[in-house]
C-alpha cells in the first residue's frame, strides 16, 4: 500500500455517510456545549479517566477553532481575459486548530492552516461568536505561525507549554482540536516515538513526536498534551496508507512538532517576523561544511574512486569553522556531472566522507542535522572515510555567522 503524509488542516466539505443516501453538511459556528461533570461523577472514574477528563476541562478553553477564507488568484490565458469577471475561481474555506499563548491574544498554529488566507476568524469553546484574527509572524519551513485575535480577556485561556526534550516513549498523549469541523474533539493515546522527521514536514524540522492519538484533517495547529496538561507538541500531519480505491485511511500514525522547537521562535513570530530558511539555519550549530550525499553519485563513479556506498562527502570547509579546526578535508579532485534538470555541477571525488555521527549512520543532510541538534553544543564524534581509511574525528558544532 502507498503511504501518504497529509497535512491535517481541513477544507469544509459535505460528508457522505457510508451505505446511505444521506448527506451530512458539517457546519461552522455551531458549538456543542459540554457542561462540566459534577464532582460526584469524577469520583467514579478510574485514575486515568479522571486525568483525561480534567485535562479536557482545563485545556479545551485554550484551544481555538480557526476558520480561513482564501481567494485564489485567477490565471487565465489572453483569449479568455474578456470573460475574467465570469470565470473567477470561487473562494475556498478551510478549518484548523490553534491554542492561546497569552492574554494578548497570541495564538500558535500551523503555517499551512493560515497560508494564503485572506480572512481568518477564531472561535472559542462554547461560544457562538467568531472573532477576527490576523497573521503576525510565520516560519514556513517549520510549519509554524502566530496569529493574533482581538477577543475579550475572559476568553483568552493560555495553555502551559511543557518541555518536549523530556518526552518519553510510552507516556500519555492527548490531542484536542477540530477534526472535520467537529469542534473541540478530544482523543488520547501514547507517544509512539520521538523520531527523526520521516518527511512529514520540511527537513528543517529535525525530529517529530509520533502519536497514536487520533489526528485527522482539522486537527492541524492544535495541541498535543501530556498527563500534566502541558503542551508538548503541535499536531501537524498524519501518515495515511492508501486503502481500497486509493482513499486515505487513519492508520494511528500522527506527528506533532516538538514544542521546544516552537519556543525558540515564539518571540520573533509574536513580533511579526517572517522567519526564513536561511535564518533558521544561521541560528543552529553547524560544522561549517558543504556536503553532497553519495547517493547523488553514480555507482560507476563510486566504484571507480573506491568510495563508500553511503555517506556525505564534504565539498568545502569554511575557514575558521569547527570543521577546519577538527582537520576535516575538502576534495582536491572533482568531476563535472549533469543533473536531471540539465544543470552541470562540480562534485568532489576525494573529500572526507562522513559515515556516522555519534554512532548514527549518516546518509543525508537531515541525518547530520538531527545529530547536531541533539548534541546541544557538546562534542560530536564523526566516523570519517578518508582516502580508504576510517578515522574518528571529534568536533564541536557552533553557531556560525556565515552560510
143 is catalytic: yes
How many Å apart are CA 350 and CA 336, to the nearest integer? Answer: 14
Q: Which of 10, 185, 187, 220 is catalytic?
A: 220
242 is catalytic: no
CA nearest to 314, candidates 379, 374, 201, 395:
395
Q: Which of 10, 130, 143, 290 is catalytic?
A: 143
How many Å apart are CA 180 and CA 218, to the nearest integer? Answer: 5
Grid coordinates given for 193 = 516515538
112 is catalytic: yes
How many Å apart are CA 25 and CA 250, to the nearest integer? Answer: 21
Question: Residue 64's beta-bridge partner residues?
Answer: 98, 124
Report the b/e string of 313-326 with b at 16+ CB within 10 A: bbbebbeebbbbeb
Side-chain half-sphere exposure of 301, counting CA atoms within 13 A: 15
Q: Which of 9, 60, 106, 112 is catalytic?
A: 112
Report the b/e string of 22-32 with b at 16+ CB within 10 A: eeeebebeebe
CB atoms within 10 A of CB 34: 13
CA nearest to 354, candidates 284, 285, 293:
293
What are the catalytic residues? 112, 143, 220
Amino acid at each position: 500500500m502507498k503511504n501518504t503524509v497529509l497535512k491535517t488542516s481541513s477544507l469544509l466539505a459535505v460528508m457522505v455517510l457510508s451505505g446511505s443516501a444521506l448527506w451530512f453538511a458539517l457546519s461552522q459556528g455551531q458549538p456543542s456545549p459540554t457542561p462540566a461533570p459534577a464532582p460526584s461523577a469524577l469520583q467514579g472514574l478510574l485514575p486515568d479517566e479522571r486525568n483525561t477528563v480534567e485535562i479536557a476541562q482545563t485545556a479545551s478553553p485554550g484551544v481555538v477553532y480557526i476558520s480561513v477564507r482564501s481567494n485564489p488568484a485567477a490565471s487565465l490565458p489572453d483569449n479568455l481575459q474578456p470573460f475574467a469577471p465570469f470565470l473567477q475561481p470561487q473562494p475556498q474555506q478551510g478549518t484548523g486548530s490553534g491554542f492561546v499563548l497569552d492574554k494578548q491574544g497570541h495564538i500558535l498554529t500551523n503555517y499551512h492552516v493560515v497560508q494564503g488566507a485572506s480572512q481568518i476568524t477564531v472561535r472559542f469553546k462554547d461560544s457562538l461568536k467568531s472573532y477576527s484574527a490576523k497573521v503576525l509572524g510565520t516560519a514556513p519551513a517549520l510549519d509554524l505561525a502566530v496569529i493574533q485575535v482581538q477577543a475579550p480577556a475572559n476568553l483568552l485561556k493560555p495553555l502551559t507549554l511543557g518541555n518536549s526534550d523530556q518526552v518519553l516513549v510510552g507516556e500519555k498523549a492527548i490531542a484536542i482540536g477540530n477534526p472535520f469541523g467537529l469542534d473541540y474533539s478530544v482523543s488520547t493515546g501514547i507517544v509512539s516515538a520521538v523520531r527523526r522527521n520521516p518527511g512529514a514536514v520540511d527537513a528543517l524540522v529535525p525530529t517529530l513526536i509520533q502519536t497514536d492519538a487520533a489526528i485527522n484533517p482539522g486537527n492541524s495547529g492544535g495541541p498535543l498534551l501530556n498527563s500534566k496538561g502541558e503542551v508538548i507538541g503541535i499536531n501537524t500531519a498524519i501518515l495515511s496508507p492508501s486503502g481500497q480505491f486509493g482513499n486515505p485511511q487513519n492508520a494511528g500514525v500522527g506527528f506533532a512538532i516538538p514544542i521546544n522547537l516552537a519556543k525558540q521562535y515564539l518571540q520573533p513570530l509574536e513580533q511579526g517576523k517572517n522567519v526564513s530558511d536561511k535564518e533558521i539555519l544561521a541560528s543552529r550549530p553547524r560544522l561549517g561544511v558543504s556536503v553532497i550525499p553519495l547517493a547523488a553519485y553514480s555507482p560507476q563513479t563510486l566504484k571507480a574512486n573506491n568510495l563508500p556506498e553511503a555517506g556525505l562527502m564534504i565539498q568545502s570547509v569554511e575557514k575558521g569553522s569547527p570543521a577546519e579546526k577538527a582537520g576535516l578535508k575538502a576534495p582536491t579532485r572533482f568531476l563535472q556531472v549533469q543533473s536531471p534538470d540539465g544543470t552541470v555541477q562540480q562534485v568532489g571525488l576525494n573529500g572526507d566522507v562522513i559515515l556516522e555521527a555519534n554512532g548514527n549512520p549518516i546518509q543525508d543532510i537531515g541525518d547530520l542535522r538531527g545529530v547536531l541538534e541533539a548534541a546541544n553544543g557538546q562534542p560530536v564524534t564523526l566516523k570519517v572515510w578518508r582516502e580508504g581509511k576510517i578515522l574518528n574525528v571529534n568536533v564541536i558544532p557552533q553557531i556560525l555567522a556565515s552560510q
